[in-house]
Amino acid sequence: LSSMKEHRGTVNCIRINNENSECISAASDGSCVVWDLTRYRRKQTLLASTNFKGVSYTPDNAQILTCGTDRKVVYWDDFDGSTIRELEGSPNELAALDIDRTSYAFATAGADKIVRLWHYDDKRVLATGEGHSGAVTWLAFAPDNRRIVSVGDEGAILIWRHMPDPATTAPPSPPASPAAPATAAAAAAAASAPAP
């Protein structure tokens, strides 16, 4: 359909928003470019002193999360490109992130080989996963929002269980109750019945 060029460094990640109206590209030149997918031109640019490695939209397309070699996760406003807040995401560089389908949590991973699950609003680490023997280069939430898939440069693909937002997740169905034991009277009646 179109070729859009602005970056002067390697593009490491591209994500399309849920409305298919724009996408964002994260590059090693210290920029993330938001592209208008109806006019095929640059909408705005996010700049930082890092090589951007990962980027993701929130499900409502209101915010963007980025990560990179500066080890930070940065929250950006999609409307004007302003920085909302940031957090130290790892002692080593980050290479990948994704947001779950409800904005309850997001996951990060990178050179320290650890997958971290964060609470989106209060920035708490909800869980960590260790299993890769090499740097994690990619991760994503599964479409069912119950698993996270991570890819390491050692060649491993790992699948992790995810704790969805309890407020938006239906509780599991109760197990089927076992058959009620026969009462003593029913057992006695069955024992005294003549054989056919």
* 194 vs 13, more confident: 13
| Res. 38: pLDDT tops 60 | yes
Is pTM beyond 0.95? Reply is no
Which pLDDT band, with edges at 50, 70 and 90, does 185 fall under? very low
* pLDDT tens sequence across 148-179: 999 999 999 999 998 766 666 544 444 444 44
CB atoms within 10 A of CB 43: 16
* pLDDT tens sequence across 94-148: 999 999 999 999 999 999 999 999 999 999 999 999 999 999 999 999 999 999 9
Dump the DSSP string for 45-112: EEE-SS-EEEEEE-TTSSEEEEEETT-EEEEEETTT--EEEEEE--SS-EEEEEE-TTSSEEEEEETT
User: What are the two backbone dihedrals, phi and then psi, of residue 185, each rounded to the nearest 5 degrees?
Assistant: -65, -40
**125: which DSSP letter?**
E
* CB-based contact 113:88 (threshold 8 Å): no
What's the start-to-end Cα distance of the chain, in Å? 80
